[in-house]
A and B are shown apart, each in its own frame.
Chain A
Amino acid sequence: MSHHTTDYIGKPTNRVDGPAKVAGTAKYAAEFNVPNLLYGYVVSSPIAKGKITKIDAAPVLALPGVHQVFSHENVPSLAWLDRSYKDDVAPGGSPFRPLHDAEIKFSLQPVALVVADTFELARYAASILHIEYEEVAHETELAKHLDEAYEPGRGKTGYKPPKSRGNFGKGWKEGVAHMEAQYSHHAQHHNPMEMFASTVEWLGDKNLNIYDKTQGAFNSQQYVMKIFGLSKDQARVISKYTGGGFGSGLRPQYQLFLAVLASLELQRSVRVSLTREQMFSFGHRPETLQHVALATAADGSLTGINHVAVAETSQFEDFTENVVGWSGTLYDCQNVELGYRLSKLDVFSPLDMRAPGAASGSIALEIAMDEMAYAAGLDPLEFRIRNYSDFDQAQNLPYSSKALRKCYAEGAAKFGWEKRTAEPGSMKDGNLLVGWGMGGGIWDASKMPATVKASLDADGHLTVSSGTNDIGTGTYTIMTQIAAQSMGLPLEAVTFVLGDTTLPQSPLQGGSWTAASVGNSVVEACSKLGEALLKQAQQMDHPAFKDAKIEDVEFANGQLRLRADDTQAVVLRDLVQASGEPKIEAENSTVLAKLEMLKPPKYSMHAHNAVFVEVKVDPELMTVHVTRVVNAVAAGRILNPKTARSQVLGSVVWGISSALMEESVMDHRFGRYMNHNYAEYHVPVNADIHDIDVVFVSEEDDKVNPLGVKGLGEVGLLGVAAAVANAIYHATGKRVRDLPVTIDKLL
């Protein structure tokens, strides 16, 4: 294969959206200063359960510049059925409807929206709005409601209960070494830097441009269309830049509903942005309580795995995630018993958060694996290698590819794992205790149908578009790389456009599937465009291309040319100009992709990682620092090592955060998260983060999808928190099973 200067795939290309973000020209949802804008401020419930008995809006409405106070008392009649409030990723149940009735279902529930001429006035007016409540007892403590935990139904949400196999009881008895323990971690809120906001531009006659913070413009569009009875044309949703999502933008948040409501009612443009405190008022990573029991035979092979989790959900929806399923896949074992239950509490429904389920499950499984390794007298890495799964026993399928062995080998080599001495407290650096721990994980390599349009104009500029999102993952960049390489154009000659419901339909950004879903569709759309261009060349009576088939030509140097004789070439720009049209366009078809989704899979398709962590612990003060991390990732083809590395770096930082400091702390007497600001919701600062080494092991996979990519927005997080906890054990001999491992738990 010949090499071209436009072979961008696999190169560490800089972010194409970087300059706009750094210069501040990239606009976020709350930054569209459309003319005549009104500002809405949300009033949040101080109680967790009960009902509103009185709203005294008159004094607020009397303030000059206040336009309206929306509450359940004056909301017009809207869509009636639950169905209309269900977004694409709504769990089973009955979705929360903002301002629907007097009932309070969770603390910080939006109870009113004050709309005024300025943000400051709206905020002040909201602060003096007098609302009376009748409180009733709430229940928010998961540990007190384990008895009521139930197995969620399959519903229509695609949730599959975890599958057990073999006979765990038998496996447990066969084992010569055992471990059994309970693990827990607390709720976490996504807290992207950018707070949720929607700017709704009223264009007259219920035509709206909706600038929304979301991970899926089409999801937001569907939601408002159904609730407010708008057509697609009336509800255009635009979301070009997203200041972080981590899953929080998968579901439309209530500011979208409120902004659209106010705009339609007042026939004005309206912006509603949430406060940091209100960022604690919706979906979050649910608290889970987990139990793991493992048994091994004399040779260290696992004879039984038991992993059960109980998670919180709201009173109105069954939020489910795959917490324990991974434990039936990651290691080889005949006897696996898995369980997953929910308990209903007076909180908002949890929501997918980066590596949903797996991040929580891997905390328990990977600490348990460490405990088991010690109980069996084996090195934790050696123990995992002895239980390596070469065949997916859970799905009963071969892996499309699995380079986890390489992750173990290359990660361990880079880290220097062989120098580890097993005894806790046996490694030192001066006064400090040194601990080395490891963990790892597995994540789905998914692909969804996505439509992409490729359009070449008469200047030779290629615009590729799809209504997907870029939540900071690098989508703009990698799609530009793929398109440029596909059409043999320099990066500067290609623009990738996203985040607009007038663009071809694409799934929301989540599940680490965008690179595979949209990336492969970009290839398809470009190849269709190539066919159209060849056809055009043939129409121009270009003798060299007369009988050429698409396999006979290539796109390079801004030209269409014969593979056999690259002097036979035509400039792409000329093809468009000769067509007499302003551009030549092509769109991929999703028919095959949709059919594929209906077929049972032939392979188990997963990304994997292995992570090695060093901590240093002060032996008296018990302060912990994560001084070194090596994260080896197998995620198929790496489209852009630079953006890919950033994804994994961010994952590692989050893992350290989960291990040491991050938690939403609830005071159950109030049913309210108390540390609802950035000063007290602790995530690492630069000084907490030291060496992080990201290793991408080579993993070729021609089965997972044509590009061979698996996506890596999430896999890098797995096992990190557990590895930190394991390293702390290795340093101190203290096994902490309730994360985060704050200083008080080590004293």
Chain B
Amino acid sequence: MAAAIEISGLAKSFAHDPGPPVLGAVDLGIEENEFVVLLGRSGCGKTTLLNLVAGLETPSAGRILVGGTPVTGPGGGKGMVFQQGALFPWLTARRNIAFAARNRGVASAEADRLADELLALVGLAGAGHKYPFELSGGMQQRVAIARALALDPKILLMDEPFGALDEITRNEMQDELLRVWAQRRKTVVFVTHSIWEGLILADRILVMAPRPGRFVLERRIDLPRPRRRSDPALIALYDEIWACLRGDA
């Protein structure tokens, strides 16, 4: 079976950006339904890598296959959740989600029904008529996740989706995400700079270093979920990852 995401020799430099490339030659294979976390300090190219997979940026070299087909642009079932939520402020939660479904050809009534179903899935049943500004940061991210799921995506790309939330909400959202992910299995690439977030969520953690952006550490976590932060295996991993991150300063 083809890997869900297959990245080979991927490099990216921006015009008018001197210095080493933002991404060196990166290779990465991600299996179907795998939950991969990209971890690294700000500016090491995590967002750039995600944008390349999403088709929002074009590579300087190398290639990306999603589901065996080369990425030529955004859309086509590559769902993305942004840090700021990026919900359309003029649409209610339900319309935001339906927007995604409508664009892949789902009829209006069916899109509304799907939106309500997804709202219920992310724990927001009954909040469909609310505008984004009426929702808390955590609720907005739930809607953003539901909206990405409405694309019925093959892969879900998440760029620090909980980065703007307070720690309590953030921990809740991690549990929520795992619950949703258990019900709707997807291949997930999740960017964060919180080590614990990575440890709680990931099947596999990849630690990145900057300029050129590259992977410097890869760890598989086979522990069952939900995971406890007091788990000695996680604490050992935490120390190892922290040492690695501190080293690349």
Tell me, yes or no, whether A binds B: no
